[in-house]
Structure 1
Amino acid sequence: MDNHIAIVEDDPNIQNIVSAFLKKEGYQVSILGSAEEGLALWKTNPPDMWILDIMLPGMDGYEFCKKIRNQSEVPIIIISAKDEEIDKILGLELGGDDYLTKPFSPRELVARVKRLFKRTTKNKASKISYNHIVKTGSLVLNTKERRLFWQAEEQDVTTKEFDMLLILAENVNRAFSREELLMKVWGTDYFGSDRAVDDLVKRIRKKIADLPLETVWGYGYRLRNEE
């Protein structure tokens, strides 16, 4: 195993503990004390995954996450002492793939790292079979470039927002249960609540107000054909 993981964290104790557990599993580890150091590493030796603290000196983790996500789909796990739901939602909305609240078990972090690597590797393989363009009504998804257009205007969407809309657009008018969407977007090894699906739909509707994304009451969601 030679995946390179970068830890952006200013607490030396957390740096040392997390680094030790990851190295024990065979990962290459880089430790950065600030987002600015992380950006410098991104230019010279970009990692295969980021483990990112939110409260950092200088640029905070949210801004750093946004900068990285604008350039790459590299996996990002956010760790933070902030336990408010709004902080978790903001972190995931800006492109984080997972969110872990301090204090946490290093073993749990390692388990999430393994699951996320497994899921992203599987997703990369499955995307090869997607058509280059998926279109339904005014919604167009470019699966090669991971770009989404609504009524001919490009929309700024996160990785999971794109993945959910791609699933729905490829199966227009079909109702998906929350459990199905959770499995398809987050992966079969995700152990969180299906509330994550509702939160994701709310964010999509806020960004694309006229999108015919319907609630199937007591079941889940579907994308209705506009015609």
Structure 2
Amino acid sequence: MTPAPAPAPVAARRAVVVDDEVALARLVGGYLEREGFEVTLCHDGAQAVEVAREVDPDIVILDLGLPGVDGVEVCRKMRTFSDCYVLMLTARAEEVDTLIGLSVGADDYVTKPFSPRELMARVNVLLRRPRQSSAPPPPAPPALQVGPLRVDVDARETHLDGRRIDLTRTEFDILTALASRPSIVLSRRALIDAVWGPGWVGDDHLVDVHVLHVRQKLGDTAKEQRFVRTVRGVGYRIGTGE
């Protein structure tokens, strides 16, 4: 009897850790390696962008306060060629720093000092997305239409008036969560459960930042909310496109 062929090896997930604190980068990298990641360490922003091009990582752990090319600019440049998950590290708790970092496409952030276990928990939540709870919502149809906006769920593409709109993974997932429930107002917590998963812990105001970025890309404003509408004191719902 011919023996069955051995299963193909599972490709290791790839991570890039970017921090000018060499000891911290090594510590984070060590935890990621124990979780089975192939890890590349970088200590400056310019190098990080080039490494991300070469490695094509699943996730980037990115320090906001890098010297020279800072984390915001690194994230902005990465988003021109990669939709990997980006988890931002910041030693500055000022809200403006966090909001700027998320608005260029970061998916989550952790404030220093942090425990490596907390960091790995956040990494694993990101990489498990989309995560189904014990009572998952009905699956979204293959495509969702909101006036001139088309959200192709299967292809993970968004088109407005026939023109493709480039959204990050998080932005696309938030838009899909809203568009698939056109008659329902979703609170921040509901959106976090739908996009990040029920196990996510952190500041739920990061939803506001991602919604703002979706609006900017769709040409919406706080006054003219054609696609994503704010229901004051409750949350967000999809608009009509008019």
1:53 aligns with 2:52: no
Distance 1:39 1:205 in 2: 27
- Superposed CA deviations along residues 186-205 of structure 1, whole A, max 9, x for unmatched, are 22221124333344434444
1:80 aligns with 2:90: yes
Distance 2:210 2:57 in 1: 27
Q: Matches of residues 1-227 of structure 1 in structure 2 within 5 Å?
A: 2-119=12-129, 122=131, 133-143=143-153, 146-151=156-161, 154-155=164-165, 157-206=167-216, 207-209=219-221, 210=224, 211-226=226-241
Would you say the 8 A contact 2:149–2:161 is kept in 1? yes
Q: Secondary structure at the match of 1:7?
A: strand
Would you say the 8 A contact 2:192–2:204 is kept in 1? yes
- Superposed CA deviations along residues 61-105 of structure 1, whole A, max 9, x for unmatched, are 212112222222211111122211111111112111111112221
Distance 2:17 2:241 in 1: 45
Distance 1:79 1:185 in 2: 21
Greater CA drift, 147-156 or 3-12: 147-156
Would you say the 8 A contact 2:146–2:227 is kept in 1? no
Would you say the 8 A contact 1:150–1:208 is kept in 2? no
Distance 1:114 1:14 in 2: 19
Letter in 2 for 1:219: V
Q: Which has the higher helix share?
A: 1
RMSD: 2.9
Aligned-pair identity (%): 34
The structure number with the bigger radius of gyration is 2
Change (3 A) 1:69 1:146: farther
Distance 1:203 1:45 in 2: 27
Unaligned runs of 5+ in 2: 1-9
Letter in 2 for 1:184: A
Letter in 1 for 2:238: L
Cα offset for 1:143?
3.8
Distance 1:224 1:49 in 2: 32
- Superposed CA deviations along residues 142-196 of structure 1, whole A, max 9, x for unmatched, are 4455443445555554433322222222222332233222211222221124333
Would you say the 8 A contact 1:176–1:222 is kept in 2? yes
What TM-score do the two structures reach when normalised by structure 1?
A: 0.81
Change (3 A) 1:147 1:5: same
Distance 1:79 1:215 in 2: 29
Change (3 A) 1:16 1:150: same
Distance 1:91 1:203 in 2: 12
Would you say the 8 A contact 1:94–1:158 is kept in 2? no
Would you say the 8 A contact 2:72–2:104 is kept in 1? yes
Cα offset for 1:51?
0.8
Letter in 2 for 1:56: L
- Superposed CA deviations along residues 95-153 of structure 1, whole A, max 9, x for unmatched, are 11111112221221122222222226x49xx9xx7655421112222445544344555
Letter in 1 for 2:239: R
Greater CA drift, 164-173 or 83-92: 164-173
